[in-house]
Chains A and B, each alone.
Chain A
Amino acid sequence: MNSGSYVGLLTVLTVVVALSFLASLMVGTSGIGWPDVQGVLRSEADTTAALILWELRLPRALLGAVVGASLALSGACLQGFLRNPLAEPGIIGISSASALGAVVAIYTGLALLVPVALPLLAIGCSLLAVLALQSLARSGGALTLILAGVAISSLCAALTSLALSISPNPFASLEIVFWLLGSITDRSMAHFWLIAPFIATGWLLLALTARPLDALTLGTETAISLGVNLPRLRMLVTVGAACCVGAATAVSGVIGFVGLVVPHLLRPLVGYQPSRLLPASALGGAALLLIADVVVRLLTTESEIRLGVVTALVGVPFFFYLVIRSRSVFAQ
């Protein structure tokens, strides 16, 4: 694939992200739409429209873009590094571990005293999950990694439910659904600024893996002979993915399958080259989550459906397709 069509792909994805970001600003339960948004931008509109735009829809759109990009980027890196097509933060338990960390930070009251404890604990648990996965699946094949991930995921979901069930707060047990299925409804700019530094760090670390991941497609021995420092690469992927998934999950709950669907759809379009897949996946993930979040708002149900429900409905058929296609790999 030549670099001209690669630039074209990135341009198209950027336009889709920009359009879905605008759509996210214009859709909501109140009738505030495009004319009001224009009015607010010219600072003529009344304060209600301005409040809705700046304090409700902007943080929601920003979080949709940032969380989607982080999940897809982490998925693309993990798949490249572990050379496993099913390595996705949700499937292999990194998201559930992050949610457990966030739950501990919030429901013990720690995050109320020290807000930064929320992303830090989520990232800490996420890091533990990645390290556990790597040690569990070190010598095994593709299937070992997925099974270890399923075990970690189930354990963390169970502990999350347990922590929320034993909380004396009468609302806590109702919030199990939020942590297991995710949502970015009614968040504020405070949430965005809280996770922004960690997300930026994660993106930077994962960006540094682009070249070494290209070399790794030729096989571990070749990569080493080409000068790839494998322990350094492992550190970058581990800490980078933990920062991205941990910080994202801390404010949005577990949103699955974004890191699976996006890299797989884009891989053929970038000529199976990891260094090109990473930026494309980040853009694609942002677009997918923004669109899913607009869909959530357009489906008028009694209470809003969770973001994770939409991504799972899109992602699971895709997952089945990948399982069927990978049967030969797992049969080894």
Chain B
Amino acid sequence: MACITISLQAYAAAPPQRIVSMNVCTDQLLLDLVPHHRIASLSYLAADRRTSGVAAQIAGLHLNRGGAEEILALNPDLVVTGEFGFRPTVTVLRRLGYAVLEIPMAETLDDIERNIATLGHAVAADERASALIEAFRQRLGKLSYAGAEDRPLFVNYDANGWTTGQTGLLADIAHRAGLSTPGDRLGFAQAGQLTLEALLLIRPALVDLGYPWDDPPALASELLRHPVVAAVMRQARAVDIPDSAWLCGTPHTLDALAQLRSARDALIRAGRALGT
């Protein structure tokens, strides 16, 4: 316990210069806050375009797989990670006296501001964090739709039939964009699974089909090639939001909101055009 206190004091005194991130979400927040030379390592998922929006910006940075030995060898002065996964690693790092900061997952767009502020403070980049938050708020305000009417159904249909509930980051993004989710219609809170029959019956207006993960393939993505999915896509408008935009809450998550908002506005315009 004594050494944890000492090391925490140490990082409070001097800004950390060898920061290690073990989580793909903290990777992306960190890149927005500090220059490359203060980052000792990012998680290996940061380099995967399917999960990370920063894959193109991290050339030359060390990548880790989150093992305790690997992290120790990097001699970090601050380790940041998410709240899920790596529990044993976090425990052992703390016991050895390393400063470990856990950033909770963003469940709403507002959580993103909180996470930027927390991480910004920990890496002594408060000013940069404030500027990011201010820009985030302004853009969010411009993109949000507050009305109760005209909320077409948006279905993000992922591998194994997983889709959006009433809560969670993607549900919040959809709500702010002026859309409703399968969870709103069918009454499930967190993410839920839709069978193909149920997908047909709820008649989505806007559909984002999950990434097919065809290399190598799995049965999960075979579902997305079913003729019934093709039939749904003939009746709905398609939108393709990269998973990396909403898997983590970062300032760039607003790109997903912008995309959904313009798709939603196009749907409403098309509906009005048909109505008149």
Give residues in A with beta carbon < 8 Å to B: 28-30, 32, 47-48, 51-52, 55-56, 106-109, 111-112, 167-172, 174-175, 178, 185-186, 188-190, 303
Which single member of A51, A52, A56, A109 contacts B214 (CB below 8 Å)?
A109
Whether B216 lies near A107 (C-beta < 8 A) is yes
Are B197 and A32 in touch, CB under 8 angstroms? yes
A residues in contact with B219, CB < 8 Å: 106, 171, 175, 178
Band of interface residues on B: 20 to 34
Residues of B in contact with A (beta carbons under 8 Å apart): 159-161, 193, 195-198, 200-201, 203, 213-221, 223, 226-228, 231
- Which residues of A lie under 8 Å from residue B161 when comparing CB positions? 186
- Find out whether the CB atom of A109 lies under 8 angstroms from the CB atom of B227: no
- A174 pairs with B160, CB closer than 8 A: yes
Residue of B whose beta carbon sits closest to that of A187: B226
Minimum distance in angstroms from A22 CB to a CB of chain B? 17
Separation in Å of the B137 CB from the closest CB of chain A? Answer: 34
Query: In the assembly, what is the distance between CA of A178 and CA of B218, in Å?
Result: 11
Contact B213 A170 (CB under 8 A): yes
Contact check, A186 vs B195: say whether CB atoms are below 8 A apart: yes
Given contacts A51-B228, A171-B159, contact A30 B200 (CB under 8 A): yes
Across chains A and B, the number of contacting residue pairs, with CB separation under 8 Å, is 79
Q: List residues of chain A with CB within 8 A of the CB of B227.
A: 55, 188-190
Contact partners of A48 in chain B: CB under 8 A: 200-201, 203
- Hey, which chain A residues are within 8 Å of B228, CB to CB? 51-52, 55-56, 188
CA A274 – CA B228 in complex, angstroms?
Answer: 42
Do A107 and B218 touch (CB < 8 A)? yes
The listed residue (B160, B195, B217, B231) touching A29 by CB distance below 8 A is B195
| Cβ A167 vs Cβ B220 within 8 A | no
Q: Which residues of A contact B196 (CB under 8 A)?
A: 56, 186
A176 to B220, CA, bound (A): 12
Task: Give the CA-CA distance A169 to B218 in the complex, in Å.
Answer: 7
Q: Find out whether the CB atom of B231 lies under 8 angstroms from the CB atom of A51.
A: yes
A303 to B191 alpha-carbon distance, docked (Å): 13
- Inter-chain CA distance A55–B228, complex, in Å, is 7
Please give the distance in Å from A111's CB to the nearest CB on chain B: 8
What residues on A are CB-neighbors of B160 within 8 Å? Answer: 171, 174
